[in-house]
Structure formats: C-alpha cells, structure tokens
Structure 1
C-alpha cells in the first residue's frame, strides 16, 4: 500500500505549496479567507479545510511585505484535554493560545523590536524571549493528567486589553491587520465550549484583527449571542462533481503526491477506474487518496474491493462510532444510518436499476429531498450524516412535487455505488446518466420519521479516561506509524499524547522530522477520535 499523506498536519508549508492544485474553486475560497470579513469554513472530515487554511497563510506571508496583513495559524484541537477546576478555563486557554501564536508569528516575520511595548502583555511577562503565556497554554493542555488542578491565569490579558494591544502593535510594527486562522475549532468542543468559542469569535473583531474558523456541519452549536448569517461569511467546502473540470482537478491532487512510478502507470492504464474512484470520493480528497492507496493496481478487482471495504463498511462504521464520542446524540446517529441504509439507498438503487436495465425514467439519481417541515429530530440526524460525509446538502429552498419546499441532498457516491454487485462495471453508467430532477422525496410526515420523533439530545458524559486507555490502532495513523509506536511500547492513546518527541526517536528510522510528524499526526488523530 502506498504511503500517501492524508492529513495536512503531516505536511510542511513547502510541501503544501507543492501539492496545491490551483483550481478556480479553491482559489475563490482562499480569496474569501484573505478578505477582511470573518469566515466560517464549513465542511465534513477530509475535504481540505486545514489545507486551504494553510495555503491561505502561505499566500499571505508571500504578500506580507506588500499588503502588511499578518496571518496567524492556530489549532484548538486540544480543547478536549482541558480538565482544570477553573470555571473560566476554556476562555482563558483560548486567549493564551491566541496570544502565544500571535507572538510566534511576529517573531517569524522579524517584526519584533525593543519599542514594541505591547508584546510584554501578549507574552504575559516583561521579557518576550521566554514567554509565560506559552507555559500557561501548555499547562491547560496537560491538565488531563491532574484533573482539578488550579492554573495561574493572572498573566493572561483581558479581551479588551488584547484588542487594544493588537491595535497598538499594528501601528508600531506597520501591520495593517492580523488574521487568525483557527483550525479544528468548534467541532472538537463540548456544546458549552462551542458557545464560548463563538462568543469570542464574534468579539475578536476590529479593523486590526479578524477570525476565520474551520467547523464541521451538523454538530456545531453557535449559541445565543452569535448569528452565523450576520457575524461571519459562511463558506461551504463542497466540490461540485458535475463541474466539467472535476475529475482532472482530483487527479492532479493525487498525482502531485505520487512518487511511485508503478502507481502512476496504473493510474494512466486504468483511467476509467480512477475516474470512478474520483466520483466515489464525492469531492473529498482524503476519501480519494485512501481509495487510491487501497487500490494500487487500479484494476477492476482492486476497485471493487475498495467499494466493499471502504464505502460499504468503514465509512458506516466510523459514523456509528460517533455514538461513543457523542453519547448524547446516540439515537440520532443510529436513526440516520438506518434511514439511509434501509430507506434512501434501496429506493435510489431501485430507480437506477430500472433505468439501466429497462430504460425507464429520465435517468439515474444520487439525490433525495426532505420537506422543510420535517420534524426537527430528522434534521438533527441529517446534520450528523453531513458531518460524517455520508450526505451533502446540495441546495435549499427546492420545489418538489405539488410545489412543496425542501432541501435537496446528495448521498455520498461511493456509498451509493457500493450497493452495486460490480461497481467497476455499472458505476460510470449510473454517474453519466444522473439526472438531478429524479430525486427521491420524503414529505413532512413520512412514516419512517416516527422512529426518531420524540428523541432528545442526551447529556454528554466525561469518558476521557476510558478513551485514553484504548489502543492507538483505532486512530487514523498509517500502518508504518502504528508499527513504530508499538516498537517502543506506545500502545494506547494516552501513551501517545504523553510521550515527548525524544521518546518517539527511540524507534528505528525515526529522527527529528519524523518524530515531529508522528507527534503532530498523533495529536490530530487523537483529538478527532475523542470528539469527532
């Protein structure tokens, strides 16, 4: 199996710039991220939110001498590890992380000077060479080791002091604006943390600073004080499979990672099979890279096996595992999967078979429609299916039979084609004949809805310790990375996030660069596993 890289966290900025496919769609999103208005970048797992954040940062650094806009990239993925007795721990931690990363970005640009008096506030002390603010952020992130311990937060500035200092620094250092790219933001937070985050997101707005945040659809709680329509520009990262350049763009994403000449040859020799996998990924680069890695020979047998193992089994299993991370949503997770597997997919397959075998109807379909007045519980379940990447919202306000209004969804094409006996034989026929008008419709009172009506979101339980004792084999790390960890007795999730990089270097063939790569990939995988 080829060791393709699925996670942005494992790439350097130089590698990201090399792998970037400058399509019109991707660049239009980057331009919005670089603009003055705050942006919420919304997309399911693996669609490339982190990658576009990093590419925006890279372009802004290249333009910094001319435009004077400073990008600051930070991640909030460690929020799930905060376990102190401070009731305001989360807000304090967020501000400490932001101060720390702003200070780090200023150091990188060479903008620091003795006259920058405001830097001491961001650093939490008199000297900027040894920052206490870094120590505070680290103490919060390691608080899971000693739950309840009180952390000294007196060096963290208030929000007003922070904003005033940013304004002063921009004037002193000839910076027109600071742009925060907050990656892995609200989707790793508990609901209360999400509300606090979006309050901070809204308040961190001035002519001198703006926020961009990457969030998932479905499980984001904005709270009462934040209005997504008014307080930010919402950008959904969903690549259009009907775009005429879609396959060529997805192919470029794969070819830029391939260093194995045999795999490149197989991609060229079995072009139609690659095209099928590109459509099956439904615009998700991680799904496509995983599929290509699993089907190295790219022949029909290998491709059919991908549909059986990945799209018929693994993606569904990952959705079901969300019940462990979000126990309060267990009923909605179970019902949503059942709705797709026993109602939507069989009906879509029946329509597609009828057209392919008998020529009935105007075409095939991958779309279904839900009435606007469907029960709230149904919409809750659908949002979590979006989060998992099993469905994608295609358009809202769509008229269906009898002019009723609702939302049209596209089901993940890989999951749709996985129900075929031999996807390599029939898959492209279904895709090429697709007609968006032939959607399956589910009205306001569809009988199946009764299975989820009356369900409520249950309380979240603190199962952190139980999760930390689980095997690293559950994480989305490469097989090589897992083998290296087991070699040095790093067997559990807790072992991995506790281990310093020096410990990782004890594994054979793991030096500085690989140790940092494994540590970063491990933390990202751990936090995604803990809370989605």
Structure 2
C-alpha cells in the first residue's frame, strides 16, 4: 500500500480527490460497510444508494482497489461526474441520445484501459485505436464538440472486449464500478444509462452503480430488486457503529495533538457532532474542521467548544438547505417544488417539536409518518428533500385502522438547530445525545399530506415549465415538444450553461473564503473551472494551495448536480 498521506488535506471529504494510499490509510470500515464492500466486489448487479457525502465513492474505490490485488476479478472504475457537460447536445442535436450512449460506453473503454493491471494493455492495433478514439470522443463531447466519424460502440462489442481482457488477465469475471451514475434531474439520460447498465450485466460481468435517493429514473426494462440489488451507503446516525467509525477516522487522519482535543470531557462533543452529521461522513469532517478552526494552509487549530460546535451544526444545516434551494436555481422547473419543500421542512419540524414538548428525554421522536396513498405531487417534494439529505426514507409502518404510513426521518442537524427536541433554551450536550441514542425506533408524528401542506397543496406542487418562446403559451407537460397553441417546436435552455454562470456565492464554501474571492477576477462558477492552475484563486486573501484546490473541487461538484 502506498503511504502518501502527507500530500493531501487531512480534511479532504471527496474520495475521488484522495490517492489510494490516503484513502486506505484514512478509512476504516464498520462491519456493515465491510458487508457492503463485499457485495460490491461480488457477482450480480448492485445499486449503491445515498445522498452526497454518504460515502458512496469511498466504498466503491475501496472495493476497486481491493480487487486490483485480487487474482480472480478484473475491476473497472468509471466516474460519470461530468455527465451534465453532455446535456447541451440534447438541446441542439437530433442524435443526442445515441451520442450520449456512445459517451457512456467510451468511458468504460477508458476505465478498462486505466485499470492498473499490465495484462489489460493488449498491443493489438484494434484495441489501441479504440482507446484513442474513445478518449478523443469523450474529451470533445465534454466541451461541446462532436468529432466527425467518431467510432461507434455497442454494448455487445464492449462485452466482447471486456471478456477478452478478463481472459488476458487470467481472471474469471469483471466488476464495473459506475460512480456518480445517477445523472440527477436528467430523466432521459438516466433511462438511457440504466438500459446500458442492464445490457452490460452478463454471467462474467457485474455492474455496480452509485445513485441518489428519490430522484433516480430507471429504464422501463429494469426492475429494482430483480435486475439489481439495492445497497445502502447511508449510515443511521444513531447507530453506535457510526460514532465508533468516525472516531477511528479522526484517529487515522488527525495529528495526535488535534485528536486529543476530543478526549476526556470533550468526548461527548465528538458524539454530538457525529450525530448532528446525520450519518454523512463528509458533513462530520466539515464540522470537525470548523470546530477546530483548522487552517489547512497554516496548520493551526483551536480547542473545540460547545459554542463552536453549535455554530458548526448551524453552518452544516445552512449548507444542506442551500443544496436543496440551489436545485431550484439550477433547474428552474423545480422552483415551485423547492418552495413547497421549505414549507414542508418547517411543518415537519413544528409538528415534531409540539409532539416532543410533552415527552421526557429518551422518548423524543425525530421522524414523521405520511399516510398512504401519497399523491405524485407530494411525493415529488419528498424525493427532492431526500436527494438533498434533509430527510431520509425509512420503512413503512402499519397503524391498524389508522392506515399505513411512509416514515421519513428528519436530518438530525435540523432537529438540533430548530430545538425540535423541545429541551428548553440551553439544552445540555448530554441531553441531546441521549435523545438521539435512546429515542423509540418506531416513534413517528403522523399526518396526511393535507395536514403538512394544506388542502390546496396540489395547486402549488407544480413544475415551473418554460412557456413557448413564440406565443408565450404555457407548456402543458414536461415532455411536450410542440406548443399546443401555435404548434411551434418548444425549446429549453441548457441547464449546464446556466449552472456555469451561477455566482460564486452559490458554492458551499465558508463565507470568509467567498469574501476573499471578491479580491479576484473570478465571478462565476465557470471562471473557477477555467482557472485550472489556480492562478486567480491564489490571489484571494487567506487562500493558499489547499484551499484553492478545495474551492475548485467545490465548483466541479456543483456542476455535477
């Protein structure tokens, strides 16, 4: 194993930005996660589900690296984070669907070529030419150019190539790891991707894909449970194994003197932050860094305190909420649903708070139950909230004659920041931790959709569709291609191009870093992405090499939706 921990940030949250040595040295797996990794390495198609920061990439990359050292399985890792860069062609070209399919397959060819096994680099001219043409195709398409005479690939031909590589490497089968595969909010891309995913599943090839909760659309021929098993990447924050795993992560990442800041009387503060992260390792690391006030460029830190912990929780809640709200800014058709989601968030927290006001510590609830059947309009709002990580879908619950309820757990940071435990003005750290760890697992606050959003909620839960540019008539449906009034073709603006022009204030970075960027010539997300050598970023006050890299990474993730 390569030991290069010193070359990167100890608080780097994205697994894709870590080397193999850093990832393996800084990561510890619980028994639950070890089982997930084992299934990712095994046979059969799998879907790894979880919101941003839940550890999907970490689990996939660990499985990939472990299989590289395995003598029986050929692993291939492919990251589709730049899928939105391909979206503009759907607005301009009639053959966009076929080009997208070729992009998906070409990325697999490149992933196969990059696998760190010498036997995977056949010298045949056909293979060399295929890799070269695939690289050219991917690079051109991601900058908006379609090369003339691009090589055409089919799933059948790709399967044949993979099987030849399996034989050349002396392996028995292959596992394809498709990271960032959800193609969020582009239903057409999602359906095409999962049709390819389904076709690539064979006796010798097992595809695995990382997806988001709530918003992923699958092809009509793909049946979840039958064609692919769902694996949960998302921890339950009240699972003691999560707190233990996060403690171990800090022991591996932090210098001894920094880790010692959470010993003794401050140990409970560590539990508090772990629970407030809602089971998301990325959120936990972000809050730890903020509580320690760690400056990555100077290497200095301060002692943690409850006040700093509360501020970190508030900051994390604001980031999660901004991810949710920015979805409406990035994709205007969801603006109405996002507005209703904010109303629903307040309604859930208010009902939980009222319910908890009469309950003792150890009997508080953090989940709501929405009575079935749930109308499509209401479900869309719930799905967007789950995508952002504001709520988490649990199992359904039958209450006899009262009906069946779908259970959703509220983000623990939101519970804390809104004082939904109803513990008074200054609740102790111990009481908050106890409320999370000893709460009744089946406890919910029940209600019908109308109870949460009002009787007229359906009229508000509508898509904000672009009107006809010719006559101004409203669009009748999201799939409509022609205006029902004037008959002209309907067109949409490119989501990707609009996201690139978003201001830097949208990025999930500390306010002081946003202020520092005002001293630069950077004003939009696109400006940051074009500053590949960080020359302009480094002009910002208090922005060193590590923070420049983090801001650039934040911009990359922002445009991946």
Q: TM-score normalised by the shorter chain: which range applies? A: 0.7 to 0.9
Contact 1:77/1:188 (8 A) holds in 2: no
Contact 2:49/2:212 (8 A) holds in 1: yes
- Structure 1 position 92 matched with structure 2 position 88: no
**CA shift at 1:431, angstroms?**
2.2
* Mapped partners of 1:471, 1:18: distance in 2: 36
Partner residue, 1:110:
118
Change (3 A) 1:249 1:474: same
* Mapped partners of 2:529, 2:348: distance in 1: 40
Per the alignment, in what secondary structure is the counterpart of residue 152 of structure 2? coil
- Structure 1 position 74 matched with structure 2 position 67: no
Per the alignment, in what secondary structure is the counterpart of residue 228 of structure 1? coil
**CA shift at 1:48, angstroms?**
0.5
**CA shift at 1:122, angstroms?**
4.6
Per the alignment, in what secondary structure is the counterpart of residue 208 of structure 2? strand
- Structure 1 position 21 matched with structure 2 position 65: no
Change (3 A) 1:484 1:500: farther
Per the alignment, in what secondary structure is the counterpart of residue 40 of structure 1? strand
Partner residue, 1:60:
67
**CA shift at 1:62, angstroms?**
2.0
Contact 2:26/2:249 (8 A) holds in 1: yes
**CA shift at 1:212, angstroms?**
0.8
5+ long unaligned stretches in structure 2:
1-8, 293-302, 420-424, 466-477, 479-491, 540-544
Partner residue, 2:198:
202
Q: Deviations over 1:407-455 (max 9, x none)?
A: 2121111111111243544422422441133310113654635343243
Partner residue, 1:511:
none
* Mapped partners of 1:201, 1:504: distance in 2: 40
Within a 5 Å distance, the mapping from 1:86-485 to structure 2 comes to 86-87=95-96, 88-105=98-115, 108-112=116-120, 117=124, 120-125=125-130, 131-143=132-144, 149-188=145-184, 190-259=186-255, 261-262=257-258, 264-296=260-292, 297-311=303-317, 313-341=318-346, 343-356=347-360, 363-396=363-396, 398-400=397-399, 402=401, 404-420=403-419, 421-425=425-429, 426-443=431-448, 446=451, 448=453, 450-454=455-459, 455-457=461-463, 458=465, 459=478, 461-476=493-508
State how many pairs are aligned.
501
* Mapped partners of 1:187, 1:418: distance in 2: 32
Change (3 A) 1:14 1:504: farther
- 401-410 vs 32-41, greater mean Cα deviation: 401-410
**CA shift at 1:268, angstroms?**
4.6
* Mapped partners of 1:428, 1:6: distance in 2: 24
Change (3 A) 1:365 1:447: closer
Per the alignment, in what secondary structure is the counterpart of residue 373 of structure 2? coil
* Mapped partners of 1:350, 1:505: distance in 2: 50
Per the alignment, in what secondary structure is the counterpart of residue 230 of structure 1? coil
Change (3 A) 1:486 1:256: farther
Contact 1:325/1:529 (8 A) holds in 2: no
* Mapped partners of 1:153, 1:91: distance in 2: 16
Per the alignment, in what secondary structure is the counterpart of residue 142 of structure 1? coil
RMSD of aligned alpha carbons: 3.1
Q: TM-score, normalised by structure 2?
A: 0.81
* Mapped partners of 1:3, 1:167: distance in 2: 39
Question: Which residue of the other structure, out of 504, 521, 529, is the alignment partner of 1:497?
Answer: 529
**CA shift at 1:225, angstroms?**
2.3
Partner residue, 2:5:
none
